Amino acid sequence: MKKIILLLIVSFSLISCVDLFLDDDINYPDTGEPVTSFQINVGNNSAGGNNIVESSLGTYREDQSASFKLQAQHYQISKLERNQDTGEIIYIYQPQQDYVGEDYVEILAPTDSNGNRVFESKVFEFQINVGN
């Protein structure tokens, strides 16, 4: 009987914590830094192939990385790559074949303003205009 009660207590404890572990909307502390905004114009035509654009987010230590807060909606390629030699993180975007319109991306990247390299971050916004 004690084992069943103990098992129930442990089960309820884990179930109550599941929302915490599945929460993708982590609110990192505000560093006070303004959002860095980029406006990108990219062509997209089937005759010349789709253009690929790259934007640097800057150079980061090996133990730091960037991640998507909001991924693009109309992409064939939308990814972050690190140059292993320099530590530079680059955002790469290619629109879907024959797509014309706008796309939007938000990327979180770490900051070291107060020495707390785990939780402090800044936001990079990309407003992408895809034309012919």
pLDDT value for 116: 54
Report how far residue 13's alpha carbon sits from residue 118's, in angstroms, rounded to the nearest whole number: 27
Q: What is the pTM of this model?
A: 0.68
Q: What is the pLDDT along the chain (132 residues), one digit of tens a residue?
A: 888 887 878 777 767 665 555 544 555 555 566 778 878 888 766 555 568 889 999 888 887 888 998 999 999 999 999 999 998 999 999 998 888 889 999 998 877 655 555 567 788 898 888 887
Contacts by 16-23 with C-beta closer than 8 Å and gap 24+?
A: none
pLDDT value for 104: 92
The domain locations on the chain are: 2-131
pLDDT value for 118: 56
pLDDT value for 109: 85
CATH superfamily of 2-131: Immunoglobulins (2.60.40.10)
pLDDT value for 28: 54
pLDDT value for 47: 55
* The three-state (H, E, C) secondary structure of the chain, written as one string: CHHHHHHHHHHHHHHHHHHHHCCCCCCCCECCCCCEEEEEEEEEECCCEECCEEEEEEECCCCCCCEEEECCCCEEEEEEEECCCCCEEEEEEEECCCCCEEEEEEEEEECCCCCCCCCCEEEEEEEEEEEC
